[in-house]
Structure 1
Amino acid sequence: MKMSEIDLRLDALKQAYQNGGLTPRQVVGNLLEKAATYQDYNIFITLLSETQLEPYLHKLDQSDPQSLPLWGVPFVIKDNIDLAGISTTAACKEYSYMPENSATVVELLIEAGAIPIGKANMDQFATGLVGTRSPYGVCHNAFDFEMISGGSSSGSAVSLALNLCSFSLGTDTAGSGRVPAAFNNLVGLKPSKGLLSSSGLVPAVRSQDVISVFALNAQDAAQVFDVVAKFDEEDEFSRDLAELNPPVWHKKPVIGVPNASNLLFDGDQLAQENFEKAVEMLVSEGYKLVEVPFCSWLETAKLLYGGAWVAERYVAIEEFIEQHEADMDPTVAEIIAGARTLSAADAYKGSYKLQHAQRETQLQWKERGIDCIMTPTTPTIYSIEQLAEQPIQHNSTLGTYTNFMNLLDYAAVAMPTGFRDDKLPCGVTFFAPAGSDRALLQLTDALHGKFVETSGAKGLPVPASNPACFTDSRVIPLAVVGAHLSGFPLNKQLQERGATLLEETETAPKYRFYELNERPILKPGLVKQKSGGESIALEVWAMPKEHLGSFLALIPSPLGLGKVELIDGREVVGFICEPYGIEDAREITETGGWRNWMRQRTE
């Protein structure tokens, strides 16, 4: 393998390490060499030197590649997130400081074996969706040097798209973790607010800030998410994922889309065609799409910059801006300084508008019966020259479908949907209520490869979909075959314990299936055979580990929990039946599953 061809996708890189054909030192050396060839892209504010990287490499030298979940994985950090011993600038030279400690999220990644490669360029103080508002230079698009990269997490996205890291950290207050993903053919995860600690993050809008993840695919994003989605007692905005209880999705997600009159593309026909093709693709894949009146979301988007939340940007750097406003990017200074005219009354008016929007949008979710909503990630894309002509207006347009996300407390994932006729990447965003992060990533994983074959700008393949990648380590996959299936009487026992449906599948062809004699609720018995047997339909649910004991206590003899082999060879915990339980039972193996049998039984 030539060094220039290193596959930095997480599983591919881990495999290369385990096979002994590659070392972290080789990877890091290669990336530093390659990064030097992209200096005119203005990707990095600080690229770590070999001396600065040595402590991380030395630590890995003393451990086994399989000992840590992200062993030897290189990543890039947006320069408003602290890395100990490396200056944090937030893209403002006069503001820079030297942190003694890394941000909590960065520390978790390093503890997991990841290697920080550099601090990325960004729109100053994370105020912008464009990637042009930095004294360190305009960050250029990975596909077209004359086009904007998107921001504010510009360098984070472009470094990944150009294969200079395996994943990168951005932030996302108004869309900064999704807009650059769309413009550079990447997956952008904007986690639910509070799931990733904001300790060590230079605030933009403190109550709405989220550290985000850029990845080449949803499977990589999920691996990073599992490492960093940890409750932080030191962060007053931190939330525990286990405490969020998003609605259970349909077996095949029902997806809302904005109605035609609310879809805005700023006259960009190519962007509109790409979104329409995405809608057609989902329909052809059997997804139910429901049109949603989108006015409440669009009006909420205007609050983030057009309302009192700009005051939070001012509060974040109040002392600095009062002394150094002339040293700031002019557009950024104009936006933040505008907060000086806002009053407490304006803040209350804004909170009332947001409360109204929250109620209106919640009603839409319920009335439409949707699991998530899909929008274009942006209405359009601009050239660097176009952006310079109308910096504030064009930036505002880019936030049409992104600015409302944190205000309304959603998780969101930006996904590539192919290339326009002008060869520029395009994408959509899926979003759903807080806590839906893994469900959104699993949906993205199911669809990503149907739109594009490769990620980023260097042709790395999109992996085959794998639902097993999105199971929380704090939950246990649980196979159910009978009365606990969706729509059946005992399914509530799963939902009451916070379990969520992962997938519909079937057993390996090694089982016999029976209707047991127990009443009042009919139940089946599943018995594995030494030879012969058939495949039986089932559902796999994610059960929080802390609730498994109380669930087990509800299971009557002769049933119990054991290992069930699935059609793809995986083994998961599931319902099994002791052999004596089927002595007087009725065999129903030929029906293929409980749902079929119950349908036949009533005919």
Structure 2
Amino acid sequence: MPLSSPSRVGWTLADWRAAYRSGQLKLNDVYDASPSADSDTAWIARIDATRLQTQLEQLEHRLAAVGGDISRLPLYGIPFAAKDNIDAAGWPTTAACPAFGYTADEDATTVRRLREAGAILIGKTNLDQFATGLVGTRSPYGVVSNAFRSEYISGGSSAGSASVVARGLVPFSLGSDTAGSGRVPAAFNNIVGLKPTRGWLSTSGVVPACRTLDCVSVFALTVEDADEIATIAGGYDASDPYSRSFPKTTPKMMPLRLAVPDSLEFFGDTQAQQTFNQAVEAWRALGAEIAPIDFAPFAQLAALLYEGPWVAERYTVAESLMERDPAALHPVIRSILSTATRFNAVDAFHDEYRRAALARRINETLEGFTALLVPTTPTIYTISEVLDDPVRLNSRLGTYTNFTNLADLSALALPARFRNDGLPSGITLIAPAWQDRTLAELGKRWQQHMSLPLGATGRALSAVAKETKPSIPATTVRLAVVGAHLTGMPLNHQLTSRDAVFVERCRTAASYQLYALANTTPPKPGLVRAMTGAPIEVELWDVPLDRFGSFVAEIPAPLGIGSLELDDGRIVKGFICEPIGLQCARDITSFGGWRAYLASLK
């Protein structure tokens, strides 16, 4: 294992940050890049001395660029893993097929953004070959077993990514999710699986399963960590033709009202049925109204994924290998992909029309609900059961997952109560596209209410380090700056010349819109509070009280100082813009901040 001390097993982002900031940890003391002697099938490739040294040098340069302040790198020194269908520069990408493998020249966009925030990649993880499967048994690199009982499956296809998080080897990992690959293994290993709205996290640099449906997913021990990682890794990416900007209208639906299927299938697994019924009652205890809905269109859409022409889309990835050397593929994967040839272009259009009709019906059904509540899976199987019946049992596991991306929905898989046999169970909250923030807030409430152990670490949620925000000295005004006054920007000297002190980089509440103002020198943004919006990156500075007035006097119209709400509920002073200043301004809310917008211009 690349982490040198078992005392760090099960640490969350908050634990890692607290250790670095207190001086308990020094970066060079954390990692042991020596080869491991064990045969952990969750990994396909692990960090070595060369890759470690490269990342440490890059991190040193990034830290120097922010003045040595590790708080400016939110993931400073924090380890993570990535599914081995996601590129990382200098690492092999195999998609669990050695004959397909290559060494990546560049990071996938998500990996790059995490590294830029200070994270350190320590390994590439095992998966069902070409991300085709929900079981974790379809890999020449070995079967990944359940983190609780080794005779049971881990779930897939992101089997390794879920396993290393569940065992506390990393606080988070990247997976992918086309049919449930970011949710099924989360349920089977008692962790959180965030399946974002398609297009929020770029798939640039990801080996496709179904390119039109694929999502990069996030595994973590807590909802808070999964949400933060998605926020850091997400955002519009011009290199991904399926990337989408976060829209300005994503209202939260209140009061809490959850839909549940009017008919539920557990394939005879009474323990799975019992734990889901307990979850429904737990949501009632949290104040949720529960109402049944017609699940038929969801089931019909789920069936299209493997019974329709999307199998042909999977075939496009391995087409040349299938024609050149079919024996190089896992036998189950080869048999699935071989069915692609029975579909033609006419079939594709017919089924696309069917998909669109069902997706509309599903979204109409969910109107008026905060989310759909389903079991993440209807049951769980042993490894031997899946090996004996690989296709039929795998198909059952997608009962409550396969339809999600086809209907353009967001989803969050959460741990639920343990079964009587000691295995984990899971639930999933599913909502329309771009309701990811709503799902995260619900997930945090759920996790606090259930207070389950974190993954398979045995660690309690209450043991997680609590992050505290710096207090505001009585002799200063805490000011949020959003544009030309940011660190390194043209007007930052107006703060530093008054002995203002940088506090932290954070975000506003999700009710702000950002505009690039016209005809301003130097270029400036305007921040406006609205009914809908998005979190906008800001910097907090403590300005000496006796110099604040002179600072405000330098602010030109249409800008001014008002009260801003941050995403953690704090209220601080900050830059605001008069409505008249928005004439001819460009809405840049989707970039999430002034720096990201300026970078896009280059």
d(CA) in 2 for partners of 1:149, 1:326: 26
Kindly provide the amino acid, as one letter, of the partner of residue 55 in structure 2: Y
C-alpha RMSD over aligned residues? 2.9
Cα contact 2:196–2:217 (8 A) shared by 1 = yes
> Match of 1:337?
338
1:28 aligns with 2:31: yes
1:424 aligns with 2:423: yes
Pick one of 13, 17, 26 that aligns with 1:14.
17
Cα contact 1:177–1:190 (8 A) shared by 2 = yes
State the SS of the aligned residue for 1:313: helix
Cα contact 1:376–1:428 (8 A) shared by 2 = yes
Trace 1:376-387 onto structure 2 (pairs within 5 A).
Answer: 376-387=375-386
Kindly provide the amino acid, as one letter, of the partner of residue 388 in structure 2: E
Instruction: Structure 2: give runs of 5+ residues left out of the alignment.
Output: 470-504, 513-527, 536-556, 575-602
Cα contact 1:104–1:198 (8 A) shared by 2 = yes
State the SS of the aligned residue for 2:509: strand
TM-score of the two chains, using structure 2 as the length reference = 0.77
> Match of 2:252?
248
State the SS of the aligned residue for 1:256: strand
State the SS of the aligned residue for 1:213: strand
Kindly provide the amino acid, as one letter, of the partner of residue 22 in structure 2: N
State the SS of the aligned residue for 1:387: helix
Cα contact 1:445–1:465 (8 A) shared by 2 = no
Give deviations 1:412-453, integer Å, cap 9, x for gaps.
100001210000011100011111112111110111132243
Cα contact 2:14–2:466 (8 A) shared by 1 = no
Shift of the 468–15 alpha-carbon distance from structure 1 to 2, 3 Å rule, reads closer
d(CA) in 1 for partners of 2:56, 2:460: 28
Pick one of 487, 492, 509 that aligns with 1:476.
509
Trace 1:376-525 onto structure 2 (pairs within 5 A).
Answer: 376-462=375-461, 475-476=508-509, 497-498=532-533
d(CA) in 2 for partners of 1:375, 1:497: 28
Cα contact 1:143–1:424 (8 A) shared by 2 = yes
Cα contact 1:246–1:433 (8 A) shared by 2 = no
> Match of 1:519?
none
State the SS of the aligned residue for 1:66: helix
> Match of 2:96?
91
> Match of 2:374?
375
> Match of 2:591?
none
> Match of 2:7?
5
Percent sequence identity over matched residues?
42
Kindly provide the amino acid, as one letter, of the partner of residue 19 in structure 1: S
d(CA) in 1 for partners of 2:372, 2:196: 15
Give deviations 1:208-262, integer Å, cap 9, x for gaps.
0101000110111121112111211111000011x26334311x42111111xx2
State the SS of the aligned residue for 2:339: helix
State the SS of the aligned residue for 1:140: coil
Deviation of 1:473 after TM superposition, in Å, equals 6.1
d(CA) in 2 for partners of 1:67, 1:401: 40
Number of aligned pairs?
Answer: 492
1:304 aligns with 2:280: no
- Comparing 141-150 with 17-26, which one deviates more in the overlay? 17-26
State the SS of the aligned residue for 2:353: helix
> Match of 1:116?
121
1:215 aligns with 2:220: yes
Shift of the 28–499 alpha-carbon distance from structure 1 to 2, 3 Å rule, reads closer
State the SS of the aligned residue for 1:101: coil
> Match of 1:285?
286
Shift of the 374–322 alpha-carbon distance from structure 1 to 2, 3 Å rule, reads same
Cα contact 1:564–1:571 (8 A) shared by 2 = yes
d(CA) in 2 for partners of 1:37, 1:216: 26
Shift of the 290–233 alpha-carbon distance from structure 1 to 2, 3 Å rule, reads same
1:169 aligns with 2:174: yes
> Match of 1:275?
276
Kindly provide the amino acid, as one letter, of the partner of residue 245 in structure 2: D
Give deviations 1:150-187, integer Å, cap 9, x for gaps.
00000001011111111000000000000000011110
1:128 aligns with 2:133: yes
Trace 1:356-367 onto structure 2 (pairs within 5 A).
Answer: 356-366=357-367
State the SS of the aligned residue for 1:446: helix
Cα contact 1:445–1:466 (8 A) shared by 2 = no
State the SS of the aligned residue for 1:317: helix
> Match of 1:203?
208
Kindly provide the amino acid, as one letter, of the partner of residue 84 in structure 1: A
Give deviations 1:432-488, integer Å, cap 9, x for gaps.
11111121111101111322432111123325999999xx96643679xxxxxxxxx
Kindly provide the amino acid, as one letter, of the partner of residue 4 in structure 1: P
> Match of 2:240?
235
Pick one of 164, 171, 177 that aligns with 1:159.
164
Deviation of 1:118 after TM superposition, in Å, equals 0.6
Deviation of 1:565 after TM superposition, in Å, equals 12
Pick one of 139, 149, 153 that aligns with 1:148.
153
Kindly provide the amino acid, as one letter, of the partner of residue 445 in structure 2: A
Cα contact 1:416–1:452 (8 A) shared by 2 = no
> Match of 1:531?
none
d(CA) in 2 for partners of 1:465, 1:230: 28
State the SS of the aligned residue for 1:476: coil
> Match of 2:485?
none
> Match of 1:571?
571
Deviation of 1:8 after TM superposition, in Å, equals 2.1
State the SS of the aligned residue for 2:92: coil
TM-score of the two chains, using structure 1 as the length reference = 0.77
Instruction: Structure 1: give runs of 5+ residues left out of the alignment.
Output: 480-492, 501-548, 554-559, 575-603
State the SS of the aligned residue for 1:431: strand
State the SS of the aligned residue for 1:117: strand
- Comparing 231-240 with 49-58, which one deviates more in the overlay? 49-58
Deviation of 1:103 after TM superposition, in Å, equals 0.6
d(CA) in 1 for partners of 2:89, 2:75: 19
Give deviations 1:116-166, integer Å, cap 9, x for gaps.
001101000000000000000101111111100000000001011111111
State the SS of the aligned residue for 1:267: coil
Cα contact 1:28–1:74 (8 A) shared by 2 = no
Shift of the 57–467 alpha-carbon distance from structure 1 to 2, 3 Å rule, reads closer
d(CA) in 2 for partners of 1:59, 1:352: 48
State the SS of the aligned residue for 1:214: strand
Deviation of 1:67 after TM superposition, in Å, equals 2.7
Shift of the 90–381 alpha-carbon distance from structure 1 to 2, 3 Å rule, reads same
Give deviations 1:501-559, integer Å, cap 9, x for gaps.
xxxxxxxxxxxxxxxxxxxxxxxxxxxxxxxxxxxxxxxxxxxxxxxx99x99xxxxxx
> Match of 1:81?
86
